[in-house]
A and B are shown apart, each in its own frame.
Chain A
Amino acid sequence: MTITLSPRLLTAIVLPILLFSFPSRVSASPASSVPTPTLEQRVAYAEAERANADPSATGIAPAASPAHTGWMMVSAALVLFMTLPGLILFYGGLVRQKNVLSMAALCLGITALVAVIWWACGYSLVFGKSFAAEDASGLAHAASPFLGGTEFFFLKNVGAAPNTDYAFWIPQNVFCIFQLAFAIITPVLIFGASAERMKFTSVVVFAFLWFFIVYIPLTHMVWGSTGLLNGVWNPKALIPAIDFAGGMVVEMACGWSALVLCLILGRRKGFGREPMMPHSMVLASVGTGILWVGWYGFNAGSALAADGIAANAFLTTTLAGAVASLVWPLVEFLQRGKPSVLGFCSGAVAGLVGITPACGFVDAGGAVIVGAAASLISYVACTTIKRALRYDDTLDVFGVHGVSGTVGLILTGILATAAANPNLLGAPAGANGLKAALEAHGLWLVQCKAIGITLLLVLPATLLITLAVRQLVGLRPGGEIESQGLDIHDHGEEGYTLNG
């Protein structure tokens, strides 16, 4: 399929982008009209900043805190670093040589695509709240647990002032780019399951549709201030679930979608007959290291502040990753006598996935349990279950992300403690029943309901998207292209050339 870009078409694309990209007037600090604060108010304000608390009682408008903002900018970069180059290396190393560039292309391509969608409407539909406004229509009201609003389209009014629905002390544009990095990595992860046999055009069309139909509503439901499942922050959450850094939003979403996609896509040519080994465990293990380090931005950054909750998440992330990275190769060692490098890598990722929803809610002991359980259950999923069912999830996105993400969410419900995160007993949690569920040891049941809602969205939506993409542009390259490798056919390049 070739699309020629005529000058007229180019103008049609570029002109609206230019029109919308003129700087919208971001309101400067309205401090001038407010009376000068007293010394007590200023001290209280400074203490609120240090504790990442609400400063509104002081009468001083919230503004960016250098400490919190600095950490969040680093975190945002760390999360993006997980995709570029973390997943390029991890996924690129695990496929065969002839497909290494196809993984690089989709990491880079989806990063660019999602960033533009995020700017145009994605951020607003997830983190806006205009649909819940009093003057909004009945239809918008009905949609507000599932979609945010239109007020931040083209990042209008997303400037240096904090959006206090989410964080008092970091600029909204930093929050926006931090969340963008999550929005990028989630669809990228899916295509580990379809690796080595899905056309690049199909990947792009799939990612586009999936982002709107699955990622945007799911993320609003879990993290949006008016979201259906946002137990910690939405007093009106119908199902007061907890997901600190994306067990539902990222891990379950990509993992279960990956399963549906690879089932419809079918197995690779020669699956089970030809050797399909990772072409470079060096690249894959370097990528794993980058993912682990990047995960600190992902998990500790999800506190949206440089506070004690972030520090606890940093610790639990480390412990879960470490325990899981011991358990997987230990089982291999006991079964076959050799702990593999891919075993260390897979265990680490499984543990980090498992701790993702839990990291800000559990203590060190909880993290060890989550890490061990996630690693063990993912090991069984990737070896025994996958072999028994003979589906071809190329890079085990379901086995690692889908399975460990779901396990982590349930364990979060069992192991969450207000000692690790006092917000579990905050005012919204009191209003929506989270506090009661936690105190009655019934939070795991709430988590299971949220998992059910997530599956109810993810599974049928991904099924329809995959079938639609198959109708629109097809899914797999025909003929011998798959045997020759996607790199030459889809990109006109080779990963490695002799005499280069």
Chain B
Amino acid sequence: MKKIEAIIKPFKIEEVKDALSELGIEGMTVTEVKGFGRQKGHTEIYRGSEYTVDFLPKIKLEVILADSSVDSAIKAIVAAAKTGKIGDGKVFVLPVENAIRIRTEETGEQAV
């Protein structure tokens, strides 16, 4: 099992979700996050006071998948989230030791 963590532009979440759904992926967790990478922040001005906003809003998507589905899911996420401009985000893949479905107490790939 693997966990895919994707940091993407907030307005891309619907497209990414639809692309994953088409692959038959049934669950995911989404969090509103803030951060920065190479895309720097912007300045905001309130009555002449300038503030640099470094942390930009992003969406963090987390999906746990069987090893066999990982490559196609990554392709789908990258294709859907890409705008080609700076700040499109990143995808991380991490190993997962186990998973348990609380209701049925199934474990492993059965549970994801």
Contacts and interface: CB of A to CB of B under 8 A. Distances in A.
B31 to A, nearest CB: 13
Contact of A278 (B46, B48, B53): B46
Contact of A384 (B45, B48, B51, B53): B48
Contacts of B48: 382-384, 386-387
Interface footprint category on A: 10 to 19
Contacts of A399: 47
Interface in B45-94: 45-49, 51-53
B47 A382 contact: yes
A276 B44 CA distance: 11
A342 interface: yes
B51 A340 contact: no
- Majority secondary structure, A binding face: helix
Interface footprint category on B: under 10
Contacts of A396: 47
A387 B53 CA distance: 20
Interface in A344-391: 346, 382-384, 386-387
A384 B44 CA distance: 17
Contact of B53 (A275, A276, A332): A275
B47 A277 contact: no
Interface string B20-54: 00000000000000000000000011111101110
Nearest to B54: A275
Contacts of A343: 47
B52 to A, nearest CB: 8
A267 B49 CA distance: 14
Most B CB within 10 A of own CB, among A275, A276, A332, A386: A275
Contacts of A346: 47
A275 B45 contact: no
Contact of A340 (B46, B52, B53): B46
A277 B48 CA distance: 11
A8 interface: no
A264 B47 CA distance: 22
A343 B53 CA distance: 19
A144 B44 CA distance: 52
A25 interface: no
Contact of B44 (A277, A383, A386, A387): A277
A479 to B, nearest CB: 25
B51 A383 contact: no
A276 B51 contact: yes
A387 B49 CA distance: 8
B8 to A, nearest CB: 23
A274 to B, nearest CB: 9
A346 B45 CA distance: 13
Contacts of A384: 48
A386 B52 CA distance: 19
A278 B52 CA distance: 14
Nearest to A382: B47
Contact of A342 (B46, B52, B53): B46
22 contacts: A275-B51, A275-B53, A276-B49, A276-B51, A277-B44, A277-B46, A277-B51, A278-B46, A332-B45, A336-B45, A338-B45, A342-B46, A342-B47, A343-B47, A346-B47, A382-B48, A383-B48, A384-B48, A387-B48, A387-B49, A396-B47, A399-B47
Given A277-B46, A277-B51, 10 more contacts: A276-B51, A277-B44, A338-B45, A342-B46, A342-B47, A343-B47, A346-B47, A383-B48, A386-B48, A399-B47
Interface of B: 44-49, 51-53
